[in-house]
Amino acid sequence: MSRDCRHCDGLSRSRFLHRAAAEAGRGLPAIEQGMPLPAGSGLSRRSFLAHGLGAALSVYGASRLGLGALEAGIAAAAGSPSAPVLVSVFLEGGADGLSVLSPQGDPLYRKLRPKLAIAGGTALREDDRLHWHPALGGLAQLYGEGKVTVMPAIGYTNADQSHFTSRHYWEVGATSTSLQTGWLGRYLDAVGTGDNPLQGLSLDDTLAPALATARVPVASLAGPDQYDFWSSNVWGEVEQRMLEGIGRLGAAQSDPALANAAFVSAQVDRLRTQLLPFQPADDGTPAYTSPVAYPQSADSDFPKKLAGLAAMLAAGLPLRAVALSAPGEYDTHSAQPAALSSGLKLTGDSLLAFQRDLEARGLADRVLVHVWSEFGRRAQENGSQGTDHGAAGTSFLVGSRVTGTMLGEFPGLRSGLDEDGNLRATSDFRAVYCSLLEQWLGVDAGRVIPQAGSFQRPKLIA
């Protein structure tokens, strides 16, 4: 969809990196789970046919440390008292807030959305104009239990309608195009250690920009099947030796650039072998069990990632900030209804399962989920069963410890739209970050968010 949309090249950047990883296997020997290995191999492919969690750990920003130190740091941190965990879930593309929480009680809603107005779904007890999208039954259920804080019109003044720019603002925690570290990265720089890359974990192919640090290492875990090092016409024992050869290329070098390349070769090799204990069984069964059932999806690893995340927390891995992208297509310039429903359903049902999982494991008081999107969409629908880029959108905090009290009112469609017909923000994402930092993560927001003093501190934690 985004490739055909002149306005949405900004989406392609990260989208394309995801696809790149998926396409890396295209045209290679068809060696997948359940398919026969090539003749003559006879070797387990455990080290590079990874499924489920721990397929690959990529460490960022730790070039001065050897892997041994990183492993030791992870082990040491795992034994220390538990830190609070913030999980950032990104709805990429600009989710339509007026469908996520449809203002069915606003008399202008059906006029602005003659084709796309949502019907049904449960009304919010705090504002009965607003209804949960029918596909978001999972979040509605948690909301009923007081475990969801709703922000019905969040953003910032003078909203930028570029995916790239607005997303960047949210990622860096400031309306600045020049900041190169993420807001969670700066939090980790303030409280993290130099030897624990798992403190900031991106559950995607590449590092989530919100986690980009200046001082301490962070990591990304690629999805299943994605950390592979195949070579055409090399298999079996020779392939195993070749993979070991990557480590051999990591031998010490005196030239700094050669040393850098060699060091990263060694990292690649060590990480590959380090993760062997996480390997699933040969039939693909994960190395962990979940106490609850997660949604099944052929299209998205999102539920699997959350299940794995709960298992990692239960195993005592020293995580502090985690980021991942929600499933679904949110840049809905056309054919909005179907695209939105399926993504929202899988997202909401998975978050419900994750919360239940944490509760069953006794971890629910340690974990808070922040759901966000770079902007909302235009109030007036367009001519192709879709909506264009807007301003304020919706965001949620999910967890046992949230207040469950709506933050910022829904401004209404008569007086709540700006001159471009976009929803005005009634809460500021930077204020939410400041409160999360101080009330949940326990660090002075002034160390992390530029001009933190100029933002309110809404009460977010009960």
Partner 1 sequence: MPGVAAYRGTFSAAQAERLLWRAGFGPRAGEAEALAALGLEGAVHALTNPGPEKLVGPKPHDEKGLPLAPYDAWGHDHCWWLDRMVRTSRPLVERMALVWHDWFATSNDGVSSQRLMLRQNQLFRDHGLGSFHDLLERVTADPAMLLWLNGSDNSKWSPNENYAREMMELFTLGAGRGYGERDVRQQARALTGFRNDWRNTVGPTNFRYDPGYHDTGVKTIFGHRGAYTWKGSVRLCVTHRDHASFLVRKLWSYFVPTAPDAATQGALERLYRHDGHALKPVVAAILRHPALYEGPRMVKSPVLYTAGLLRRIGRGVDTTSWTWLDAMAGQQLFRPPNVGGWDDTRWLDTATWRGRWWIAQYVLRPYSLDPGTSEQPFDAQALLAGALDFWRNPALGDTTHGALLAFAKAALADAGTTGWKRKEYAVMTHNALRHLIAVSPELQAA
Interacting span for partner 1 (CB under 8 A) from 78-86, 252-260, 351-359, 378-386: 252-260
Interacting span for partner 1 (CB under 8 A) from 173-181, 292-300, 403-411, 441-449: 173-181
Q: How far apart are the first and last CA of the chain?
A: 41
- Burial of residue 24 (number of CB atoms within 10 Å: 0-12, 13-18, 19+): middle
Q: Is the dihedral of CA 381, 386, 391, 394 positive or negative?
A: positive
Count of residues engaged in binding partner 1, rule: CB under 8 A? 70
The reply on whether position 158 binds partner 1 by CB under 8 A is: no
Among 181, 213, 267, 380, binds partner 1 (CB under 8 A): 267
For partner 1, the closer of residues 240 and 403 by Cβ is: 240
The reply on whether position 72 binds partner 1 by CB under 8 A is: no
Interacting span for partner 1 (CB under 8 A) from 7-15, 128-136, 418-426, 433-441: 7-15
Contact 289, 53 (CB under 8 A): no
Residues 198-217: x/- map of binding to partner 1 (CB under 8 A)? -------xxx----------
Among 53, 55, 268, 379, binds partner 1 (CB under 8 A): 268
Q: Note the residue count of the chain.
A: 462
For partner 1, the closer of residues 17 and 338 by Cβ is: 17
The reply on whether position 382 binds partner 1 by CB under 8 A is: no
The reply on whether position 296 binds partner 1 by CB under 8 A is: no
The reply on whether position 249 binds partner 1 by CB under 8 A is: yes
For partner 1, the closer of residues 58 and 347 by Cβ is: 58
- How many whole angstroms separate alpha carbon 358 and alpha carbon 360? 5
- How many whole angstroms separate alpha carbon 456 and alpha carbon 445? 11
The reply on whether position 164 binds partner 1 by CB under 8 A is: yes
- How many whole angstroms separate alpha carbon 394 and alpha carbon 391? 10
Interacting span for partner 1 (CB under 8 A) from 161-169, 374-382, 385-393, 409-417: 161-169
Q: Please state, in angstroms and as integers, the Cα–Cα distance from residue 305 to each residue in 295, 312, 368, following that order.
A: 11, 10, 16
The reply on whether position 45 binds partner 1 by CB under 8 A is: no
Interacting span for partner 1 (CB under 8 A) from 138-146, 163-171, 281-289, 410-418: 163-171
> What residues make contact with partner 1 under the rule CB under 8 A?
3, 6-7, 9-10, 12-13, 16-17, 19-21, 23-24, 27, 40, 56-61, 63, 162, 164-165, 168, 177-178, 180, 205-207, 220, 222, 227, 229-239, 241-242, 244-246, 248-249, 251-253, 255-262, 264-265, 267-268, 271
